[in-house]
Amino acid sequence: MKQTYNRTLTACYTGYVVQAIVNNFIPLLFLTFQNTYHISTRSITLLISVNFLVQLLVDCLSAGFIDRIGYRASMILAHAATAAGLICLTFLPEILPSPFAGLLLSVAIYALGGGLLEVMLSPIVEALPTEHKEKTMSLLHSFYCWGHVAVVLVSTVFFALFGLESWKFMAILWALIPIYNLFVFRRVPLCPLVAEDEEGLPLSAVLKKPAFWILMVIMACAGASEQAVSQWASAFAEQGLGVTKSIGDLAGPMFFAVSMGSSRLLYGVCGEKLNLRKAMLLSGGLCILSYCMISLSPMPVLSLLGCGICGFSVGIMWPGAFSIGASVLKGSGTALFALMALAGDLGCSGGPSFVGLVSAHAGDDLKLGIQTGVIFPALLMAGVLLIRKAHAKQAG
């Protein structure tokens, strides 16, 4: 039985690799799309926005339909949409009157799959009969980071060997992973998040609990703390190392992703020895320190090092928030995870936007924008402290 559920866990790990493919493969091809299909930078930006907005829409809607159609059907649909979107990239721009319309439709299709994966993977793992769920959750989310690194490295090597004009073959190769995982999810055992003999907590009751709203703030700040620096990691790498933009694009985001994945892997290996709330507070403090290194250091290399420390510090925030939510609001079902994913995605969008707006008002002073971003880890730490009190009151 344990071996059987290990197959389910492995399939979920692979699911986060698929999520990493969804979010990180296409950005490597933006310049190629511009040159091949004569697409403007504004249109490329729209591709990014559509990917995010579709996933955000899935977060909103999934709370109402996932429990109705079931976990297995949802996962099969997620992997099928992801594979279909990647494969459509290779021919829709060629057969539609507008190449951009083909790219946009392809992105929307695989973003549907990416949104479902983001909502579903955490509750599936939470429902499995495993010990030390916090460390399992952290290990699960580390696979997104390793998937991110793998997508950048493998694609870069492939393009170096076969040329950028062979990108369609690379897209099909990446599509094979969700196709394989689709068939795995057809057979692996899945557990309900709320057992049949337990009474689930209705969404209306969840929304009335103060702990829920504190949890939403924690989740939003986790996403904002991560992306407020991650989005600018390439610029810091280029400036700090004095390298070309293409190398900076690899060094900055990969440094951040490796640091974040290492943090999640470390907690996944020895998480049972640590108190999750204390670890979250420590991560918040380290994140504030990294923001100060980035924004106050007179040396660009130290700013780049701050990016790496930031990646390490935010690693536990997202999976840790999921674990706290599952513990504090037991019986809430999949709807809770969908709403948490929604809050996290809003933070991922709002964090970089806040930093950008502050920077623009300060004469494009990016360091000042990053400096004001310390509000996100600070609010996260406050939320972690408050949610224990709110949970104690509602339990009493």
Do 230 and 112 belong to one domain? no
Do residues 185 and 209 both lie within one domain? no
Domain closes at, from 173, 193, 213? 193
At 238, is the pLDDT very low, low, confident or very high (cuts 50, 70, 90)?
low
Residues 70 and 183 in one domain: yes
Name the burial class of residue 186, with classes exposed (0-12), middle (13-18) and buried (19+) by CB atoms within 10 angstroms of its CB.
exposed
Same domain, 244 and 262: yes
Calculate what percentage of the chain has a pLDDT beyond 90. 34
Tell me the average pLDDT across 324-334.
80
- Token code pair at residue 337: 């995870």
Residue 51, in any domain of the structure: yes
Same structural domain for residues 205 and 177?
no
Domain end marker among 193, 210, 232: 193
**What are the E-state strand segments in 21-139?**
none
Q: Is residue 63 part of a domain?
A: yes
Residues 63 and 189 placed together within one structural domain of the fold? yes
| CATH number of the domain enclosing 317 | 1.20.1250.20
- Which tens digit of pLDDT belongs to each residue from 335-388? 888 888 889 888 887 887 788 788 778 876 777 888 888 999 999 999 999 987
Check whether residue 179 and residue 225 sit in a common domain: no
Task: State how many domains the chain has.
Answer: 2
pLDDT at 230 over 80: no
pLDDT at 370: 82
pLDDT of residue 336: 84
Predicted local confidence at residue 393, as pLDDT? 53
| Within a domain: 139 | no
Q: Which of 231, 239, 322 is nearest to 24 (CA)?
A: 231
Enclosing domain of residue 178: 1-134+145-193
Query: Is 377 inside any structural domain?
Result: yes
Sign of CA dihedral 185, 187, 188, 193: positive
Q: Please tell me whether residues 92 and 210 are part of one structural domain.
A: no
Q: What is the pLDDT of residues 57-116, one digit of tens each?
A: 888 888 777 778 888 999 999 999 999 999 999 999 999 999 999 999 999 999 999 999
Same domain for 129 and 15?
yes
Residue range 302-319: average pLDDT? 87
Across 188-217, average pLDDT: 77
Q: Is residue 339 located within the same domain as residue 390?
A: yes
Asked if residue 116 lies in contact with residue 58, where contact means CB atoms within 8 angstroms, the answer is: yes
Q: Which phi and psi angles does 272 have, rounded to 5°?
A: -65, -15
Same-domain check for residues 52 and 166:
yes
**Encoded tokens for 172:** 């099909």
Average pLDDT over residues 248-256: 72
Q: How far apart are CA 176 and CA 390, in angstroms?
A: 46
Domain boundary among 175, 193, 211: 193
For residue 140, is it within any domain?
no
pLDDT above 50: residue 11 = yes
Shared domain for 293 and 180, answered yes or no, is no
